[in-house]
Amino acid sequence: MTDTTRKAARPAAPTAPAGPTPPSAARRTRRWRGVTPWLFLIGPLVLLIAFTYAPIVNMVAYSFTDWDGVSPELHYTGAENYAELFTRPELFEVFLVSGYYLAASVVQIAAALYFATVLSFNVRFRNFFKGVLFFPYLINGVAIGFVFLYFFQDGGTLDAILSLFGYDGDRAWLGTPASANVSLAGVSVWRYMGLNFVLFLGAIQSIPGELYEAAELDGANRWQQFRHIIAPGIRPVLSLSVILSVSGSLSVFEIPYIMTGGATGTETFVIQTVKLAFQFNKTGLASAAAVVLLLIILAVTWVQRRLVPDDKVDLV
């Protein structure tokens, strides 16, 4: 990096006093002007290629091999990994678990929308509530996993709170597949609602205030304001949130991996991929699974954009 800046600086110095030969100097200046933006871009581009695209290309390359993750030898096996993946339907059954998270993300978006709308109006302790709602998103996912492990444990926080209200449900929250998945999806709502909330709040606050005033003069109530001003105003952000939550629920990982490790029917596609790669040393197959997940998410996003095109919103 230091090298490139030095190179850029050196020719820049002689250009100024090089008055006597104007044509070549001008050409040189022009050439350097063309190169300058690229010199500035080298840093980010190198980082982007080295840490984002190169690993992906590597992964795609590994998906065509039988590499086990350590062995110095790897053999090219063609599309064998993909063939194996698609002839083993049980590998895709785990997507059913994503259904829980998808349902949870509907709840999550609805709740975030509700809170964002309410807090966009003048409410007492507005900033305090904003902080409270956004706070969980700032906590490290691993920490959340551990916290909620104690929360759901037998005689843990949840049981203690419930017994305060006289409800002595003697149940293992992570004990059955349905209960475990609902509990985990609940944790994920708790964690990510703050992000949706902030996105919505930002979008709502960018709607000009005169619109509300005008609506109020026309006698519109709060629901009508929401329905006709806020909802259309935040549509692009809303559709972004939906895309994020769909792809998020297809690739859930952190919370179930830390809390249950995929036991009791909580295994997601990503957990399964990690297990293939690091437990059974099938790095090639796992890479193929990762590529397939990437393609599925791209496809889902594409379909979604087709169904709900991103129109320009014009409120006025």
Partner 1 sequence: MNRRTVLALAVGAALLASGCTGTGGTSKGADADAPDDPAKVDGTITVLTHRTDLVQDGTMKKYAAEFNKTYPKVKVEFEGLTDYEGEVKIRMNTENYGDVLMIPAVIEKKDYPKFFASLGTQAERGKKYRFTDYTTVDGKVYGQSPLGVVPGFVYNKKVWNAAGVTDWPTTPAEFLDDLEAIKSKSDAVPYYTNFKDMWPLTQWTNVNGSVGCDTQATTRLAESNPWAQGADLRVGDTLLHDIVRRQLIEKDPTTTNWEASKPKLAKGEIATMWLGSWAIVQMQDAAKQAGTDPADIGFMPFPAQKNGTFCAVTSPDYQQAVNVNSDHKAAARAWIDWFTDKSGYADANLALSPLKDGPLPDVLKPYEEAGVKLLDIDDTKGAEVKSIDNQSEVGIYKPDYRQELVDLARGARKGSLDDFLTGLGEKWTEAQKNLGS
| Contact (CB, 8 A) for 145 and 255 | yes
Cβ 169 to partner 1 shortest distance, Å: 12
Whichever of 237 and 276 has its CB closer to partner 1, that residue is 276
Q: Tokens for 69? A: 């993750």
What CA–CA distance (Å, rounded) separates 189 from 77?
41
Whichever of 130 and 282 has its CB closer to partner 1, that residue is 282
Whichever of 149 and 297 has its CB closer to partner 1, that residue is 149
Whichever of 77 and 264 has its CB closer to partner 1, that residue is 264
Residues of the shown chain interacting with partner 1 in the complex, contacts defined by CB under 8 A: 49-50, 53-54, 57-58, 60-61, 68-74, 149, 152-154, 156, 172-177, 180, 260-265, 275-276, 278-282
Cβ 260 to partner 1 shortest distance, Å: 7
Whichever of 186 and 248 has its CB closer to partner 1, that residue is 186
Whichever of 113 and 180 has its CB closer to partner 1, that residue is 180
**What dihedral angle (degrees, nearest 10) is formed by the CA atoms of 244, 250, 252, 256?**
140
Each as own residue / partner, the long-range contacts of residues 271-280 (CB below 8 Å, 24 or more positions apart, any chain) are 271/94, 272/91, 272/94, 277/69, 278/69
| Contact (CB, 8 A) for 263 and 316 | no
| Whole-number Cα distances in Å, 223 to 128, 190, 241, 242 | 24, 26, 22, 22
Length of the chain in terms of residues written: 316
* φ, ψ dihedrals at 129, nearest 5°: -65, -35
Measured between its terminal Cα atoms, the distance across the chain in Å is 49
Q: Tokens for 48? A: 């982007």
